[in-house]
Amino acid sequence: MYTTIKIPKELAKSVALIRRDLVKNYSRIPKYILSPEKCPRCGGKFEVVSHVKSGVEIVKCRRCGYAQPRVGVETKGIDLVSVLLGSSLGILAGFGIAALTYIITSERSFWGLHEKFENIVIESDRDVLEEFIKERR
């Protein structure tokens, strides 16, 4: 079952930019966003409720009802890029919602690190920040 959402034209234009970025940066998307094993809200188990397309399924938490898209764990490399580029705007929005859900519900949230890094210029010191975050996971 589908529903329609409206987005401003300016945001719709950003989809083309995001799709281009996916081609070169897909490996930076964390596994817990693309292929989660448990619900980011409550830690419950997911069950598959539908298959959207080859390599993408919709999963739903048995405990709280949260749902999100999930890429099959066997989908890697160029196959992953193909799946992400071929996904509808709704599926890409679903991954965005999943990322936001993880950020606002995670005890390991990036936002809790802002005091330690308030003086770092992110663009020039991105590698330092990313390494720090990796060490905390």
Beta-carbon contacts of residue 101 (< 8 Å; ≥ 6 apart): 40, 41, 66, 68
Bigger pLDDT: 37 vs 131: 37
Q: Same structural domain for residues 54 and 90?
A: yes
Q: Same structural domain for residues 23 and 69?
A: yes
> Average pLDDT in the 100-121 region?
60
Q: Same structural domain for residues 120 and 90?
A: no
Tens of pLDDT along 38-95?
Answer: 999 999 999 999 987 777 889 999 999 999 998 876 666 657 667 777 777 788 888 8
CA dist., res. 7 & res. 24, Å (int): 25
- Coil/strand/helix, residue 57: strand
Contact 105, 40 (CB under 8 A): yes
> By residue range, what is the domain housing residue 122?
107-137
Assess whether pLDDT exceeds 70 at residue 107: no
Q: Same structural domain for residues 26 and 38?
A: yes
Query: What is the reported pTM?
Result: 0.66
Q: Same structural domain for residues 26 and 81?
A: yes
Position 59 in a domain: yes
Q: Same structural domain for residues 28 and 95?
A: yes
Q: What is the mean pLDDT of the chain?
A: 77
Position 1 in a domain: no
CA dist., res. 114 & res. 22, Å (int): 26
- Determine the pLDDT at residue 115: 47
Beta-carbon contacts of residue 29 (< 8 Å; ≥ 6 apart): 95
Q: Same structural domain for residues 70 and 54?
A: yes
- Determine the pLDDT at residue 27: 79
Domain count, the chain: 2
Calculate what percentage of the chain has a pLDDT beyond 90: 15
Q: Same structural domain for residues 31 and 74?
A: yes
Bigger pLDDT: 28 vs 136: 28
Q: Same structural domain for residues 119 and 99?
A: no
Q: Same structural domain for residues 101 and 113?
A: no
CA dist., res. 40 & res. 100, Å (int): 10
Q: Same structural domain for residues 46 and 65?
A: yes
> Average pLDDT in the 113-137 region?
58
Position 84 in a domain: yes
CA dist., res. 71 & res. 20, Å (int): 19
